[in-house]
């Protein structure tokens, strides 16, 4: 028959003395007990702890020792059908750390450990899952969430706030391995200096990394976040600027190394190398950073940093990444000898150069007045839209495989953004007219709404196939007319005009 359990105090002391023959058995002792303890789930103060297992005895003594070596819990459980179970609720003020549990009598004793984590503690966090010696006590800078910490999704997102402690930008976040099931939605981790949104599809892939033979409760998702030191960042910035004449690269905010994995009961981690759906990474910009020139850069272990993207959202820069590694918020300021600050397109070219959408005709020249070719603009557009490479080549005989524009043309054609000048010809070197430019922009904009006719004095010269597109981009502000109240539909567009319309497209997105 089970007897009521008692917590620390005089009665516990007397009971403990009464069972002096019952001690914790060292794992080094060779005797194999006929009493076992099932894995005990890690927990937090105020939560229920269940201790159960099997035994050949008629009843077992169950004892729990706190990290300070005092007896936290003591009870005698009846064994029925070879099994026993007791439960108790941890005190609200229970200390964080590793607790020892024992069950049995005399020398027929089984031992186990479980962890208690302090919810919201910057150095330890909350906890779930594993129990057993494999998971251990969290290291400083670790924040752990239990299943009970996962709130209801709001607008399709579960939000968890993470605090590693005063002045700490990095640490380790531990989450339930079955987070995909618990959340049923994307999970947004709000960090001191940014945020990470993990799609539910990525969480499902992580669940598949639970070691064979283990339950999800025995494993955890771990996200390691490490801030890059000054030397690492300096090296990456130097490598990026090297060979880019007229380009100044500077730190714009956080630089973090990220690793996402699943940790099994043994402590072994299995890294998720690639994401089935992009993860959204947001890094907070420093107060003095030029927001328009800021972006997120991927910093590989060796080699030059690569632009990963960057959309400004308040004081943060945001992009989607397909894998974790080191990422940094940087600004890139590019100057061209033929683009002084007084040029009307200076800002457009400067901003789009920082976004790696446009390039010069040489390291030092942009040639703003040079007439724009079809290949040039489609390439700019593909870079801006971050179009993925198409499965096959476009059906144009004059778009040669391996040419600098082939991939962009194929990707834009696959998306329905461009067509050829004929069934099998693209004419990559043909100059682009302003009305052709309007048609391409209207396809990207795809508003579907009819726009009012333009009031330009040469509106009648706009080709019938381009009229609706011209009206649409004029109404949305993507394009404007010339100072003399003309649209000049057949005039050839320039590289400076291309920079302006893509800049306006970005402003309207």
For 124-155, the pLDDT digits (tens) are: 433 333 333 334 445 557 888 888 889 999 99
Domain containing 237 equals 132-330
pLDDT mean over 52-64 = 93
Is there a domain that residue 40 lies in? yes
pLDDT greater than 80 at residue 405: yes
Phi/psi of residue 351, nearest 5 degrees:
-70, -45
Do 63 and 92 share a domain, yes or no?
yes
Mean pLDDT (the chain) is: 85
- Residue 129 has what pLDDT? 34
Among the candidates 330, 345, 361, a domain finishes at 330
Residue 402, token pair as written in the block: 């391996």
What is the mean pLDDT of the segment spanning 456-473?
Answer: 92
pLDDT tens digits along 151-173: 999 999 999 998 887 667 788 99
Strand 269-271 and strand 247-263: the pairing is: antiparallel
- In the structure, what pLDDT confidence band is assigned to residue 425 with cuts at 50, 70 and 90? very high
363 and 484 inside one domain: yes
CB atoms within 10 A of CB 137: 16
Angle at 360 between CA 356 and CA 362, to 5 degrees: 130
Name the pLDDT band for 379 (thresholds 50, 70, 90): very high
> Per residue in 200-254, pLDDT tens?
999 999 999 988 877 777 789 999 999 888 888 888 888 887 777 889 999 999 8
From CA 451, how far away is CA 432, in angstroms rounded?
23
Q: Identify which of 291, 271, 278, 119 has the alpha carbon closest to the alpha carbon of residue 196.
A: 278
- Residue 63 belongs to a domain: yes
All residues at 6 or more sequence positions from 38 whose CB lies less than 8 Å from its CB, including other chains: 51, 52, 53, 112
CA distance 366 to 498: 12
Q: Is residue 502 part of a domain?
A: yes
How much is the pLDDT for 41? 74
Any bridge partners for residue 108, and if so which? 105
Q: Is the residue at 348 inside a domain? A: yes
The predicted pLDDT at position 164 comes to: 80
Exposed/middle/buried for residue 133 (C-beta within 10 Å: 0-12, 13-18, 19+)? middle
Query: CA–CA separation, 498 vs 382, rounded Å?
Result: 13
323 and 341 in a single domain? The answer is: no
Query: Does residue 374 sit in the same domain as residue 472?
Result: yes
How much is the pLDDT for 217? Answer: 76
d(CA 372, CA 432): 6
Same-domain check for residues 186 and 279: yes
Q: How many residues does the chain have?
A: 509
Asked, for residue 5, whether it belongs to a domain, the answer is no
Q: Find out whether 219 and 210 touch, Cβ atoms under 8 Å.
A: yes
Q: Count of domains in the chain?
A: 3
- At 451, is the pLDDT very low, low, confident or very high (cuts 50, 70, 90)? low
d(CA 469, CA 64): 75
49 in a structural domain: yes
pLDDT for the residue 488: 94
Please give the pLDDT value at position 449.
Answer: 59
Domain stop point among 265, 298, 330: 330
Same-domain status, 81 and 24:
yes
Same domain, yes or no: 81 and 185: no
**Range name among 46-50, 180-184, 377-381, 440-444 with the lowest pLDDT average:** 46-50
341 plus 216 within the same structural domain? no
Average pLDDT over residues 446-450: 64
**pLDDT surpasses 70 at 447:** no
In CATH, what number is assigned to the domain containing residue 25?
2.60.40.1930
Among 330, 347, 369, where does a domain finish? 330
Full-model pTM: 0.71
Average pLDDT over residues 466-477: 91
- DSSP of 420-447, one letter per residue? -SBTTB--TTSBPBHHHHHHHHHHHH--
234 and 363 belong to one structural domain: no
> What single-letter DSSP state applies at residue 373?
B
- Name the nearest CA neighbour of 178 among 133, 143, 152, 145: 145
- pLDDT for 27 equals 44
Lowest mean pLDDT of 58-62, 147-151, 268-272, name the range.
147-151
Q: Are residues 351 and 434 in the same domain?
A: yes
pLDDT higher for 111 or 24? Answer: 111
CA–CA distance, 61 with 105 (Å, rounded to integer): 6
Arithmetic mean of pLDDT, 5-13: 42
Q: What DSSP state is assigned to residue 390?
A: P
Q: Are residues 393 and 471 in the same domain?
A: yes
Residue 2 forms part of a structural domain: no
pLDDT of residue 76: 93
Least confident of 110-124, 165-179, 345-359, 406-420: 110-124
Q: pLDDT at position 211, please? A: 86
**4 falls within a domain:** no
Res 445: pLDDT: 86
User: Once rounded to an integer, what is the mean pLDDT over residues 378-387?
Assistant: 94
Q: Give the mean model confidence (pLDDT) for residues 424-430.
A: 95
In terms of domains, do 142 and 45 share one? no
């Amino acid at each position: 028959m089970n007897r009521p359990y008692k917590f620390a105090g005089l009665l516990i002391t007397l009971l403990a003395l009464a069972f002096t023959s019952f001690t914790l058995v060292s794992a080094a002792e060779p005797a194999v007990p006929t009493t076992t303890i099932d894995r005990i789930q890690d927990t937090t103060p105020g939560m229920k702890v269940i201790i159960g297992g099997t035994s050949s005895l008629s009843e077992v003594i169950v004892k729990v020792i706190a990290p300070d070596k005092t007896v936290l819990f003591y009870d005698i459980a009846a064994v029925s059908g070879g099994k026993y179970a007791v439960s108790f609720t941890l005190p609200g003020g229970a200390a964080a750390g590793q607790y020892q549990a024992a069950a049995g009598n005399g020398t027929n004793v089984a031992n186990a450990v479980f962890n208690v984590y302090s919810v919201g503690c910057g150095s330890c966090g909350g906890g779930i899952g594993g129990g057993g010696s494999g998971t251990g006590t969290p290291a400083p800078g670790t924040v752990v969430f239990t299943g009970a910490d996962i709130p209801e999704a709001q607008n399709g997102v579960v939000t968890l706030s993470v605090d590693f402690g005063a002045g700490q930008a990095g640490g380790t976040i531990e989450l339930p391995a079955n987070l995909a099931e618990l959340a049923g939605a994307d999970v947004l981790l709000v960090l001191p200096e940014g945020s990470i949104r993990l799609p539910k599809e990525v969480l499902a892939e992580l669940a598949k990394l639970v070691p064979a033979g283990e339950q999800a409760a025995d494993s955890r998702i771990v996200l390691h976040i490490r801030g890059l030191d000054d030397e690492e960042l300096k090296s990456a910035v130097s490598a990026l600027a090297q060979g880019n004449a007229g380009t100044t690269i500077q730190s714009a905010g956080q630089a973090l190394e990220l690793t996402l994995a699943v940790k099994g009961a043994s402590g072994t981690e299995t890294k998720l190398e690639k994401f089935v759906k992009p993860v959204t990474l947001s890094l907070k910009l420093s107060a003095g950073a030029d927001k328009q020139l800021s972006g997120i850069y991927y910093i590989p272990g060796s080699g030059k940093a690569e632009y990963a993207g960057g959309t400004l959202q308040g004081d943060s820069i945001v992009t989607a990444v397909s894998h974790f590694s080191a990422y940094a918020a940087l600004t890139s300021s590019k100057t061209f000898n033929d683009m002084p600050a007084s040029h009307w397109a200076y800002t457009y070219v400067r901003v789009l150069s920082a976004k790696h959408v446009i390039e010069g005709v040489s390291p030092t020249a942009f040639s703003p007045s040079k007439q724009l070719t079809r290949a040039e603009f489609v390439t700019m557009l593909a870079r801006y839209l971050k179009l993925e490479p198409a499965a096959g080549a476009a059906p144009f005989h004059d778009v040669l495989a391996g040419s600098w524009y082939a991939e962009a043309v194929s990707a834009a054609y696959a998306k329905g953004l461009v067509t050829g000048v004929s069934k099998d010809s693209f004419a990559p070197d043909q100059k682009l007219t302003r009305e052709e430019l309007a048609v391409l922009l209207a396809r990207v904009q795809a508003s579907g709404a009819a726009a009012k006719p333009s009031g330009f004095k040469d509106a009648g010269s706009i080709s019938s196939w381009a009229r609706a597109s011209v009206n649409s981009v004029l109404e949305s502000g993507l394009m404007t007319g010339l100072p003399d109240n003309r649209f000049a539909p057949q005039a050839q567009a320039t590289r400076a005009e291309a920079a302006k319309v893509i800049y306006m497209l970005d402003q309207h997105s």
